Amino acid sequence: MRTIVAASAVLILAVLPVAAPWLQFVLTLAIAKGFAALGVAVLLRAGLISIGHAMFFAASAYGVAFLARAGINDLGLLLILSVLAAALLGAIAGLFLVRYRAIFFAMLNLAVSMVFYALCAKLYSVTGGTDGMTVPVPAVFGVVLGEPTFKSVLFYISLALMLLVGLAIQRYLNSPLGHALAAVHSNEIRLEYLGIPVWAVLLVAYVVSAALAGLGGAIAGFAIGRVVPDFAFWTASGHLVLIAVLGGIGGVPGAFIGALFLELLHSVAVTVTDAWNLIVGLTLIVVIMFLPQGFYGLFSRKEASSL
């Protein structure tokens, strides 16, 4: 039953841009943010809130821009290398950060990401400062495409990646390593007594979440065609947490449901009012107060995890 629901949802997503071409950009961006929010959701399962994951999102988009400048011009290679770069950055940051909990974890992630943001904004000669860097249109499997065609290809590749990566993350979360995350949340000391190294569990989760945010950032960079330091600003990190919580952290679809909901709501809302943040802020507060399991909690019959 759930497979049928998921399959039809993906089919609808795949057909939507044919019916309404303007939706293609919106949906690509939604999937990109969904990846990043999924990364945040992985850490939220362990009770760790990161207000700094936009750093990995931005780092990977900058990675694409730098690699393209260095002459690499293949979509697949660019995606893989930039995600690896984000994962490496995640491993380095994670080595220091997974020792901390609660408010200290949140603050340190914020500090790291703001150092990154300030560097991107200030190192004008390297990163182009607040003007950012352009992300050129790459070749896809050796085929050079025009921009409109590339954007369509990018959308369907993102959709396919959403399925593949989503399934992989689902398996990870259902593995003992994934279940250990929830155990860290409920009782960390007991986990240590069972002989499971908590820091290793969290480091793996941190690297996975950084790679997910990086994948989202690379897709967003290609879709927008430009990367600016604001990708890494703390409010962007806040938005990623917001998406994860709106959708619900109980399962992989949650993050994507949250991102789709938010991007579609955005497209509708901007035609009516410019008080967009007011609507989002209010939605967030209402969801946290009355739907602690997020929108995904409405669909899932199992007891989904909440904050």
Partner 1 sequence: MSNAIIPLLLDSLASAALIFFAAVGLTLVFSVLRVLNVAHGSLYSIGGYVAASLCLFIASRQLNPYLSFAALLFSAVFVAAIFGPLIERSLVRWTYGKSEAVQILITFGLFLMLEDLQRMIFGVQSFYEDAPMRLLGTLTIGGVVYLNYQILLIGMALLVVISLRLLVNHTRLGRLITAVVTDREMAQSIGIDTNRIFILAFSLGVFLAALGGALATPTSGIAPGLGADTMVLAFAVAAIGGLGQIEGAAVASLIVGVARVLAIYLVPSLDAVAPYAAMLVVLLIRPYGLFGSMTARRI
Which of 9, 16, 88, 111 contacts partner 1 by CB under 8 A?
Answer: 111
Q: Is 131 a residue that touches partner 1 (CB under 8 A)?
A: no
Q: Is 203 a residue that touches partner 1 (CB under 8 A)?
A: no
DSSP for residue 137: P
Which of 115, 158, 216, 228 contacts partner 1 by CB under 8 A?
Answer: 115
d(CA 69, CA 59): 15
> Integer distance in angstroms from the first to the last C-alpha of the chain?
27
Asked if 264 and 16 touch (Cβ cutoff 8 Å), the reply is no
Could you give the angle at the alpha carbon of 236 between the alpha carbons of 159 and 103, nearest 5°? 115
Q: Is 110 a residue that touches partner 1 (CB under 8 A)?
A: yes
Q: Is 136 a residue that touches partner 1 (CB under 8 A)?
A: no
d(CA 268, CA 77): 35
Least distance CB 78 / partner 1 (angstroms): 28
Q: Is 186 a residue that touches partner 1 (CB under 8 A)?
A: no
The stretch near partner 1 (CB under 8 A) out of 80-88, 108-116, 194-202, 258-266 is 108-116
Least distance CB 112 / partner 1 (angstroms): 6
| Distinct helix (H) and strand (E) counts, the chain | 14, 2
Q: Is 268 a residue that touches partner 1 (CB under 8 A)?
A: no
- For residue 94 the two structure tokens come to 């994670």
Could you give the angle at the alpha carbon of 152 between the alpha carbons of 129 and 37, nearest 5°? 60
Interface residues with partner 1 (CB under 8 A) are 44, 47, 49, 51, 96, 100, 102-104, 106-108, 110-112, 114-115, 118-119, 121-124, 233-235, 238, 241-242, 245, 274-278, 280-285, 288-289, 307
